[in-house]
Chains A and B, each alone.
Chain A
Amino acid sequence: MRINLSHLTRRLTRQLLNVCDQDMRHAQRELHWMLSHVKDTSKKPNTTENLTFHDAQRLADMVKDRVEHHKPLQYILGSQPFCDLDIVTRPPTLIPRWETEEWVYRLLEHLKQHDGKRRILDLCTGSGCIALALAQHLPQGTADIHAVDFSPSALSLARLNAELLSSQLTNVVNIEKMDVLNTNDFKLGGDAAPFDLIVSNPPYVTHAEYAELTPDVKEWEDRAALVADDDGVAFHLHIANVIGKQNVLSNTPTHWPRLVMEIGGTHQVSKITKALQVNGLSRVEVWKDLAGKDRAIAAG
């Protein structure tokens, strides 16, 4: 039995309007992406006019998950593009955001202007997206990348991504377990060599903000990957302190940022900047995202 697509898509698009700000074209695009996913993963051939009953059922279930259960589209499709990589996404690990992709590209522009070998640390790696993007875009064999997280589900997803994407990577990424907030030196496996670059997208949502988040974030993504104490800057301050006390960041001054951390907005800038300066990172820049929000802090 086959289901006529034109009726089905019209009905499902209408349902999707509720999660797409009533924007018809946006709802059509979401459905188009789900339909492509259904066709790509289908066992039987589908035409432009019809779907098999089984595939139509799968599509309708996806829309139901999206609309009734607030499931993020990225979890439904199972992936999210990030810097030319298709990162596998799986609940509850944080879904890569476009804002993160944007500052990673900006960082890469800086790094590409200055060759040389680099030892890189990615704190709170989650799906592994930042570490893997650096491993793909930096010249072959120039980066020794270490990505850490505390959550077992994040670690296994990051390892899966590293394995699935290995053919596209030109540098090695080592994924290891670390409880960042309770570690005072960031040393890995007894290796005390300092890092040339530390990157991080740590949790930065405040407790008050968390209460207001929409269900597609709150009910699906790991709270531990989102919320931090001290007005959302607990991780940032801790990272600055460790850098100040321990020899974890190479001391050679550079023309490129040695530390880049994502932030939740302007309200976090002054606290973090102060902590960085106290701990010897004097050149501090705030990077805005395309929506005009303060999105990352880079220190040299």
Chain B
Amino acid sequence: MITVQVHSRLSQSYSPNRTGFAETSLVTPKLESKLKTLAERHESLIAKLNHTESMEASAIASVSKEAAELSQLTTLYGEWNRANTDLDELFNLLSSSSNDEDMLEMAREEHQGLSETLQRIEMDIVTELVPKDSADEGSAILEIRAGAGGDEAALFAAEMTKMYERFAQERRWKWELLSCSELEGTAKGFKDVTVNIAGKSVFGQLKYESGVHRVQRVPATESQGRIHTSTITVAILPQPTEVDVQIKDADLRIDVYRSSGAGGQHVNTTDSAVRITHIPTGMTVAMQDERSQHKNKLKAMKVLRAKIYEQERLKTDLARRDSRNKQIGSGDRSEKIRTYNFPQNRVTDHRINLTLYELELIMTGQNLPNIIDRLKLHYDTEALLAINDE
């Protein structure tokens, strides 16, 4: 888990040792040489574009396209170099001057600012270099299921739904409840819930939420005051476009309420449930919450389309992993990824050993980015290291 070390070093406090700091960088020597090559490439492309007299129109177009793709990275590399030079100067200044307290204090402040800048630049470089997943930009379907722990798991499933809903509201994403099965007798717990979240970069932001989330607390119903552990499962599926997944009508079996008699005017059914089976994959989605059978059908198709897309993505992903013979990131739904410990006001993400004592603010959705951003950086860095190794 090399990247975990990288993170802990990043947050390391000031120590007046230039070489010590260099080690904390996300930009490894290998990566630095790659950046240098890319920056030089950008420079040569720009030079070419200054002498286009003898070039074909198509050549000009392809050169400007490549230059445009490299431009952001080149800028970041320039900023990174400048920040490093500034740091070097700071250390030179410190080593040449006497140990004046005021001077040291100024240096500390300066160092703090420069470190933060450098950290931001490096994160941007990582984001820029990591291969883009086209699904990241789009909408997603969120599924939450109560797991072990009975009513308490259902209550926690409802609270988690609320957390994601507030998180979505904050980002002005459109929250559309597709189905929700409430715990019998109360309206507070959910056995399972499916939501369509439409907006920009929904999948990219939420994709690391997939997995088993564990809650530890004293349930409201527990008279002995004992702490219980319950689990829920979260799944995030990217929402494909009609182009991403094409489904033939002939491949679908749609089951609806069938009266024993003639149907139509003969019966007046209120059973609007629809179940759609995708015959080639055997995947099935059922929807029943809407009074309109047609709406249930549309919702079921939306979820089915996402499930088929997810399966196709996993297939290509597995093929890629096999060829590399190593695992990148996490796709395992059964993996226990996070613990919410109420008595300690603590949330721990087990994948990156991140512990935050701000459970309340995370459950309101407000501080959820504190986890999501770190996960994103972790997986981006890991993906980058994997590419570098190739």
Which residues of A are in contact with B by a Cβ distance under 8 Å?
5-7, 9-10, 20, 23, 25-26, 28-30, 32-33, 48-49, 72-74, 80-83, 94-95, 97-102, 105, 201, 203-205, 209, 212-214, 216-217, 221, 225-226, 262-265, 289-293, 295
Q: A291 is contacted by which of B258, B268, B290, B294 (Cβ under 8 Å)?
A: B258
* Closest chain A CB from B8 CB (angstroms): 44
For the complex, what is the distance from the CA of A74 to the CA of B291, rounded to whole Å?
A: 10
B268 touches A95 (CB 8 A): yes
Q: A290 is contacted by which of B187, B254, B290 (Cβ under 8 Å)?
A: B254
Pick the 9 closest A-B CB pairs, nearest first. Answer: A81-B292, A6-B185, A48-B187, A98-B293, A73-B270, A291-B258, A290-B256, A265-B262, A99-B264
Q: A216 is contacted by which of B186, B263, B268 (Cβ under 8 Å)?
A: B268
Interface SS of chain A:
mixed
* Closest chain B CB from A267 CB (angstroms): 9
For the complex, what is the distance from the CA of A210 to the CA of B272, rounded to whole Å?
A: 24
| A to B CB contacts below 8 Å, 16 in the list | A26-B270, A26-B271, A30-B270, A32-B182, A33-B291, A48-B187, A49-B186, A102-B294, A203-B265, A205-B265, A213-B267, A264-B264, A264-B266, A290-B254, A290-B293, A292-B258
Closest to B254 in A: A290
Having A205-B266, A217-B266, one finds 13 other A-B pairs with CB under 8 Å, namely: A7-B185, A26-B273, A48-B186, A49-B186, A49-B187, A72-B270, A97-B265, A97-B268, A99-B264, A101-B293, A205-B265, A216-B268, A293-B263
B187 touches A5 (CB 8 A): yes
* Closest chain A CB from B261 CB (angstroms): 8
List chain B residues, Cβ under 8 A from A29: 270, 288-289
Interface contact tally, CB-CB below 8 A = 108
Which residues of B are in contact with A by a Cβ distance under 8 Å?
181-182, 184-188, 254, 256-259, 261-273, 288-295
A213 touches B263 (CB 8 A): no
A264 touches B293 (CB 8 A): no
Closest to B291 in A: A81
B185 touches A264 (CB 8 A): no
For the complex, what is the distance from the CA of A226 to the CA of B258, rounded to whole Å?
A: 20
List chain B residues, Cβ under 8 A from A204: 264-265
B290 touches A81 (CB 8 A): yes
B266 touches A209 (CB 8 A): yes
List chain B residues, Cβ under 8 A from A32: 182
For the complex, what is the distance from the CA of A95 to the CA of B291, rounded to whole Å?
A: 13
* Closest chain A CB from B271 CB (angstroms): 6
* Closest chain B CB from A208 CB (angstroms): 12
For the complex, what is the distance from the CA of A101 to the CA of B256, rounded to whole Å?
A: 14
A214 touches B267 (CB 8 A): yes
A264 touches B262 (CB 8 A): yes
